[in-house]
A and B are shown apart, each in its own frame.
Chain A
Amino acid sequence: NAGVTQTPKFQVLKTGQSMTLQCAQDMNHEYMSWYRQDPGMGLRLIHYSVGAGITDQGEVPNGYNVSRSTTEDFPLRLLSAAPSQTSVYFCASSYLTGAYNYGYTFGSGTRLTVV
């Protein structure tokens, strides 16, 4: 079982460049999300999706786009990279079982540096 797979693991971008972080899961989870993790600030939600064709914004969505054309894939696009987007990005997925989310499965992260 691969779980949640993120690529690439490391990336360096120049200011203004665009790129897509890939996320794929093989657990048939309805819910997928993107978080960024910065020192002392915990994990902050960027965007999330409750199923194919449905996305919504989280706490820090500016500068990022997402789409969900399949259950398995949830790519995160950086439109014009800025140094403030230097961070570690995590993709997470879970089942939606009615009233509760019983826990995320996280990928191993993408460490992004914008210079």
Chain B
Amino acid sequence: TQLLEQSPQFLSIQEGENLTVYCNSSSVFSSLQWYRQEPGEGPVLLVTVVTGGEVKKLKRLTFQFGDARKDSSLHITAAQPGDTGLYLCAGGDNYGQNFVFGPGTRLSVLP
């Protein structure tokens, strides 16, 4: 069974600070996705990375897929209260028919 670990589990920071959250596994994934989930809602896709070493930017969010395709990081620059939520990573096998989700990092950005 493929397992994903995420760290930290909880993170509370002040508006304007930078932060990085991590997603790690001992398994190799064909692709990896990051989602953000707000209370009472389903997860919303932020990004998909498919190539080892790939870096993608989405405004103030920077996503990196590890060279060995076993880990990933999400860096947020100048965090804002609107970034508050549960950040989930998900790793997929070939053809994306079985995605494994990590337990998430719960981020709170205080004004």
> Are A101 and B42 in contact, with the CB atoms below 8 A?
no
Asked if A103 is at the interface of the complex by the 8 Å CB criterion, the answer is: yes
> Are B98 and A58 in contact, with the CB atoms below 8 A?
yes
Query: B33 — which chain A residues lie within 8 A by C-beta?
Result: 103-104
Q: Give, as a whole number of angstroms, the nearest-CB distance from B44 to chain A.
A: 7
> Are A106 and B43 in contact, with the CB atoms below 8 A?
yes
Chain A: interface residue total (CB-CB under 8 A): 30
Q: Which of B9-37 contact A (CB under 8 A)?
A: 30-31, 33, 35
Query: A58 — which chain B residues lie within 8 A by C-beta?
Result: 98
> Are B97 and A102 in contact, with the CB atoms below 8 A?
no
Query: A92 — which chain B residues lie within 8 A by C-beta?
Result: 42
Q: Give, as a whole number of angstroms, the nearest-CB distance from B36 to chain A.
A: 11
Which of A11-19, A37-45, A64-72, A78-86 lies at the interface?
A37-45
How many angstroms between the C-alpha atoms of A96 and B98 in the bound complex? 12
Asked if A31 is at the interface of the complex by the 8 Å CB criterion, the answer is: yes
Asked if A2 is at the interface of the complex by the 8 Å CB criterion, the answer is: no
How many angstroms between the C-alpha atoms of A50 and B45 in the bound complex? 20
Q: Which of A42-56 contact B (CB under 8 A)?
A: 42-45, 48, 50, 56
> Are B96 and A31 in contact, with the CB atoms below 8 A?
yes
Task: Sample 7 A-B pairs with CB under 8 A, ordered by A number.
Answer: A42-B103, A43-B43, A58-B98, A100-B30, A100-B31, A101-B92, A104-B33
A residues adjacent to B (C-beta < 8 A):
4, 31, 35, 40-45, 48, 50, 56, 58-59, 90, 92, 94, 96, 98-109
